[in-house]
A and B are shown apart, each in its own frame.
Chain A
Amino acid sequence: MTATVPASPPGIAPAGLAGLLLSMADDEFVIGFWDSEWTGIAPMLEEDVAMSSISQDEIGHARALYELLASLTDDDADRIAFGRTADEFRHAALMNHARTDWAFTIARRYLYETADAVRLESLARSSFEPLAQLAAKMRREETYHRMHLDTWLRRLAGGSAHERLASALERAWADAQALFSPLPDEAQLVAAGILPDSLGELRRRWLAHVTPVLATLELLPARTPEPAPDGRRSRTEEFRWLHGEFTMVAGSEEGATW
C-alpha cells in the first residue's frame, strides 16, 4: 500500500527525520516478529489469537512507517525491511532479546506498549503531517494492546509467576531505557516540531507512569540506569538469529514477492 506523501518538509535535516522514522519502524517490526513466534504455542488459545493479532498490528505499523520513509528517501519499503544487515537496524536494545518465556514476553511488551503510547501521544502533534496522521491512527489501535498488557502484567504479578515476572522485568529494564536513547539530530527534530517533545521528556512521562504501577505490584527494579548512548545500535546474537530468519526469503530469492 502506498500513502501519498509530500516531499521532505523544507528546512529540516532529512537525516534526522529518517532516523526517527527508522527507530520507530524497527521497534515495531522487530517486536512484531519476536512475538509472532507465539502463534500456535501461546499459553492458551485466546492468547494465541491475541498475540498474533497484536503482532500483525505492529508489523502493519512498521510497514506504513517504512513506506513513509521510503517515499522521503526514494527507497523501497521491502528493501528497508529485508535488505539491511543486522547492524543497520535501529530498534532499541529492548528488542535485542529473544522471545524467551511468557513472563519475559509480558514484561517486555508492557514496557514497550507504555513507552510507545507516550511516543505516539507526542507524535500525533508532530509538525510533519504524514507522521502526525499515522501516529493518531496507530494510537487508537495501540490502546487495545496496552489494555491487554496491563491486564496480563497484573495477572502474573498476583500469582505464582511473580518471581519470574520480577526477574524478567529486571532483565528488560535497562534495555527498555534505550527506547529513549538519543537520536541523531534530535535537537533539530525538536526545534522543528517534528518531534514535539525531547526523548528525555518522553522518558520522564513514561517513568512517571510505569514506576508507581511497578512499585505497587512489587516489581520495580532496584536501579534505573540512564539510556545507553548506543542503545539503538548495539546488537546481540539473539537478534542476529532473528534477522537471519526474517531475511531468509528475500536473501535467497532477490526481489521475491508474495
Chain B
Amino acid sequence: MQTREEAIWDALAEVSDPEIPAINLVDLGVIRSVRLDGERVTVELLPTFVGCPAVEVMRHDVAERLHGMAEEVHVRISFAEPWTSERISLRGRERLRASGFAPPVRIGPGVLHDDLAELSVLPVATCPYCGSRNTTLENAFGPTLCRAIYHCADCRQPFEQFKTI
C-alpha cells in the first residue's frame, strides 16, 4: 500500500513547472525533501535561479495541490544546496526534448564554478528536432532566466535549451 509520503510525492509530480509546463516539479528536481510530521507536511523547494519569478507560483501551486492531504501545508524555499541542471531526471530530460527544448548538457562538478582564470567553454546542445550536434549558441540568455537560444545548422531550426547550470 502506498504510504502518505509516497502519495504526496505523486501529487507533487502532477504540478507542472509554470514556465515550461511539459515538465513537472519532481522531474525538474526542485523538490529537495518532503517531511511529514503528524498533520503537518513541509515541502522544501530549491529555486532553479535565485531570481526566478516563477518560484512564488510554484509555491502556490504546490500548496494548492497538497491542500486536503494534511491539515497544514508548508512550502519552504531553500538554498541548502544549489539547484543544478544535473537534478533534472532522465524522464524530465526526455519530456523537455519531446516538447522542443534541448535538455541541459550533462556536466561534471566544477565546470561552472571554477576559478576566475578558467572561463569554461560549455559543450553545445543537441538539436531536439533532428538530433544534430552541429548547433551554435546564439544567446546564453533567453526568454526566461533558465533558457538559452540555439540554432541548428543541419535542420536550420532555432531552438531553446534549458540552461546548463
Is A125 at the interface (CB under 8 A from chain B)? no
Evaluate whether A133 and B80 lie within 8 angstroms (CB atoms) in the complex, with A49-B139, A143-B112, A144-B141 already known. Answer: yes
Closest to B59 in A: A1
A37 contacts B by Cβ under 8 Å: no
Question: Least Cβ distance of B159 to chain A in Å?
Answer: 15
The 24 listed contacts between A and B (C-beta, < 8 Å) are A1-B47, A3-B77, A46-B139, A50-B139, A50-B141, A53-B141, A53-B142, A57-B50, A57-B51, A57-B145, A61-B50, A64-B79, A114-B116, A117-B116, A121-B113, A121-B115, A136-B82, A137-B83, A138-B50, A139-B112, A140-B112, A144-B165, A146-B119, A147-B140
Contacts of B42-67 to chain A: CB distance below 8 A: 47, 49-53, 55-56, 59
Query: Any chain B CB within 8 A of the CB of A150?
Result: yes
Interface residues contributed by chain B, number (CB under 8 Å)? 35
In the complex, how many angstroms separate the beta carbon of A238 from the nearest chain B beta carbon?
Answer: 25
Given the complex, which residues of A lie within 8 Å of B50, measured CB to CB? 57, 60-61, 63-64, 134, 137-138, 141
- Please tell me if B19 contacts chain A, counting CB pairs below 8 Å: no
B143 touches A49 (CB 8 A): yes
CB contacts (< 8 Å) of B154 on chain A: these are none
Tell me the B117-165 residues at the A interface (CB within 8 Å). Answer: 117, 119-120, 138-143, 145, 149, 163, 165
Once bound together, how far apart are the Cα atoms of A131 and B56, in whole Å? 21
B residues in contact with A54, CB < 8 Å? 141
Q: Which of A52-72 contact B (CB under 8 A)?
A: 52-54, 56-61, 63-64
Give residues in B with beta carbon < 8 Å to A. 47, 49-53, 55-56, 59, 76-84, 112-113, 115-117, 119-120, 138-143, 145, 149, 163, 165
Please tell me if the beta carbons of B56 and A144 are within 8 angstroms of each other in the complex: no
Please determine whether B117 and A209 come into contact, CB atoms closer than 8 angstroms: yes
Q: Give the nearest-CB partner of B55 in chain A.
A: A1
**Residue pair B115, A60 in contact (C-beta under 8 Å):** no
- Among all A-B residue pairs, the 4 with the closest Cβ atoms: A60-B51, A53-B141, A50-B141, A133-B79
The distance from the CB of B45 to the nearest CB of chain A, in whole angstroms, is 9
Which of the residues A3, A124, A148 comes within 8 Å of B140, measured between beta carbons?
A: A148
Instruction: Count chain A residues whose beta carbon lies closer than 8 angstroms to a beta carbon of B.
Output: 40
Contact A137 B112 (CB under 8 A): no
Say yes or no for A4: interface residue by CB 8 A criterion: yes
B107 to chain A, nearest CB (A): 11
A59 to B42, CA, bound (A): 28
- When the two chains form their complex, are residues B77 and A137 in contact, meaning their CB atoms are under 8 A apart? no
Known contacts A46-B138, A54-B141; 14 further A-B pairs (Cβ under 8 A)? A1-B47, A2-B77, A46-B139, A49-B142, A56-B53, A60-B50, A64-B79, A121-B115, A138-B50, A140-B113, A140-B165, A141-B49, A146-B119, A209-B117
Q: Residue A98 at the B interface, CB < 8 A?
A: no
Contact, CB under 8 Å: A59 / B51:
yes
A54 to B79, CA, bound (A): 20
Give bound CA distance, A4 to B145, whole Å.
Answer: 23
In the bound complex, residues from chain B placing their C-beta under 8 Å from that of A133 are 79-82
Give every chain B residue within 8 A of A214 (Cβ-Cβ).
none
